[in-house]
């Protein structure tokens, strides 16, 4: 399958135009929109969400990854094979955490260019056709690149920030839950949130943290919006508080 990870949103023509190209060039390959509203322009936030939410995709899936504030500039376009999946997008740090966490990585520059390449919509004109090529079993259209030469900003292994707030008001962080003890608390907006394994274990309308289905620390509330209760927004820092024995 081809899976899309973008900051386009579902309003307007952008995602539909990308999907139209994919359907034209790879008509038998299903397209699934995993993230349509990654934080706009925020390559760093998207970099931590991408490995968590692509991990469950089948082997040989092709991920179209576009958060691209530098579109039309000299930033490189790349196709990266990380473990058993392809990731196609701009070399602007967006793929850095996927590369860092993968057991095996092979990267290629995208040297191919279409007859028409707009200055502002490489997702449609460049990345979508390359995703279709890969999904059809073709090799990446460019030369090999040392994965160490990819744009890999000095970002931490885990990011202690709120990266995304969903429709329920649950706040997803860039912290992997496996690295945190269930005995720890998450401090956010002056509130200390205890761990709960499920929503049902939490008191109604009381913020708590849990390991979400994609392995990240998420702050939520049973039957309420944690974002509203704690006045949360994307970018808010959180602190892991280790309880003394």
Question: Which CATH number goes with the domain that contains 205?
Answer: 2.40.30.90
Q: What is the pTM of this model?
A: 0.95
> Can you tell me which residue has the tokens 């990308």?
18
Q: Is 172 in the same domain as 205?
A: yes
Q: Is 132 in the same domain as 29?
A: yes
- Confirm whether 230 is domain-assigned: yes
Q: Is 113 in the same domain as 234?
A: no
Last residue of a domain, one of 149, 172, 191: 149
Per-residue pLDDT tens over the stretch 59-107? 999 999 999 999 999 999 999 999 999 999 999 999 999 999 999 999 9
Q: Is 72 in the same domain as 183?
A: no
- Confirm whether 171 is domain-assigned: yes
Q: Is 110 in the same domain as 193?
A: no
Last residue of a domain, one of 149, 180, 204: 149
pLDDT at 21 over 70: yes
Q: Is 10 in the same domain as 86?
A: yes
Per-residue pLDDT tens over the stretch 133-162? 999 999 999 999 999 999 989 999 999 999
Per-residue pLDDT tens over the stretch 110-128? 999 999 999 999 999 999 9
Enclosing domain of residue 194: 159-241
pLDDT at 244 over 80: no
pLDDT band at 242 (very low <50, low <70, confident <90, very high): confident
Give DSSP secondary structure letters for the chain. -EEEEES--SSSSHHHHHHHHHHHHSTTS-EEEEES-PPTT-HHHHHHHHHHHHTTSPTT-EEEEE--TTTTSS--EEEEEETTEEEEEESSSTTHHHHHH-SSEEEEE-----S---SS-HIIIIIHHHHHHHHTTPPPSS-EE-GGGS------SSEEEEEEE-TT--EEEEEEGGGS-TT-EEEETTEEEPB-SSGGGSPBT-EEEEE-TTSEEEEEEBTB-HHHHHT--TT-B-EEEPPP-
Last residue of a domain, one of 149, 181, 201: 149
Q: Is 142 in the same domain as 237?
A: no
- Confirm whether 82 is domain-assigned: yes
Question: Which CATH number goes with the domain that contains 24?
Answer: 3.40.50.10790
Average pLDDT over residues 202-209: 96
Q: How many domains does the chain have?
A: 2
- Confirm whether 51 is domain-assigned: yes
Query: In angstroms, rounded to a whole number, what is the distance separating the alpha carbons of residues 223 and 134?
Result: 43
pLDDT at 163 over 70: yes
- Confirm whether 154 is domain-assigned: no
């Amino acid at each position: 399958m081809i899976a899309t990870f973008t900051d386009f949103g579902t309003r307007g023509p952008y995602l539909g135009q990308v999907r139209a190209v994919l359907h034209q060039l790879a008509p038998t390959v299903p397209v699934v929109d995993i993230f349509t509203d990654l934080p706009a322009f925020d390559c760093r936030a998207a970099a931590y969400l991408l490995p968590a939410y692509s991990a469950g995709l089948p082997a040989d899936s092709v991920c179209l990854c576009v958060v691209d504030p530098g579109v039309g500039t000299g930033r490189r376009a790349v196709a990266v094979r990380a473990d058993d999946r392809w990731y196609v997008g701009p070399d602007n740090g967006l793929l850095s955490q996927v590369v860092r966490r993968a057991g095996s990585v092979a990267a290629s520059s995208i040297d191919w260019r279409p007859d028409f390449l707009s200055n502002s919509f490489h997702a449609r004109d460049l990345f979508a056709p390359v995703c279709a090529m890969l999904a059809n079993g073709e090799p990446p259209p460019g030369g090999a690149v040392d994965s160490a030469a990819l744009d890999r900003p000095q970002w931490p292994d885990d990011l202690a920030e709120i990266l995304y707030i969903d429709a329920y008001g649950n706040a997803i962080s860039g912290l992997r839950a496996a690295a945190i003890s269930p005995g720890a608390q998450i401090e956010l907006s002056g509130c200390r949130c205890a761990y709960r394994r499920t929503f049902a274990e939490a008191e109604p309308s009381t913020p708590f943290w849990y390991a979400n289905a994609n392995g990240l620390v998420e702050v939520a509330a049973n039957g309420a919006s944690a974002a509203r209760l704690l006045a949360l927004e994307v970018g808010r820092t959180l602190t892991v508080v280790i309880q003394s024995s």
